[in-house]
Amino acid sequence: MTRPVLVYDGDCGICTKAVRLIGARGRRLRVPAEAEVVPFQHADLPALGTTAERAAYEVLWIEDGRVYGGAQAVARLLTDAGGFWRPLGLLTRVPPFRWAAHGVYRLIANNRHRLPGGTPVCALPAAERPGTR
């Protein structure tokens, strides 16, 4: 079994803040200790089985050679985090909760440049973001 990897957009203020929050100690969600967290701009994406275009489009959870994106990546993270988060992660992996989670994820991801902490890079199409070429 290989170590899971959480891949996010390191140029996006929203994504970076979310990663800091989930990595914080205390009552917040913590990334499982065995998981590696890396911005896609510094990851060996071909070795992980994905592309820069996909990583710029959505957060990725890569585990055992499988790549999960968007809401399903978040669901896998929640499941692996354990505790209170595990049931929530499992719930968001099955319909109709899966569909709702996908809709909420896309709504936030598509509008992240408009949210507090968003950066101009967030507004660029995925193919034009730094690190995707």
pTM recorded for the entire structure:
0.80
3-state helix, strand, coil in the chain (%, to 5): 50, 10, 40
Spell out the per-residue pLDDT of the chain, length 133, in tens: 478 999 998 888 888 888 877 765 444 555 665 788 899 989 999 999 999 999 989 999 999 999 999 999 999 988 888 888 899 999 999 999 999 999 999 998 888 777 766 555 555 555 555 555 5
Tell me the three state secondary structure of residue 39: strand
Question: Counting runs of H as helices and runs of E as strands, what totals does the chain give?
Answer: 7, 4
- The token pair at 25 is 């100690």
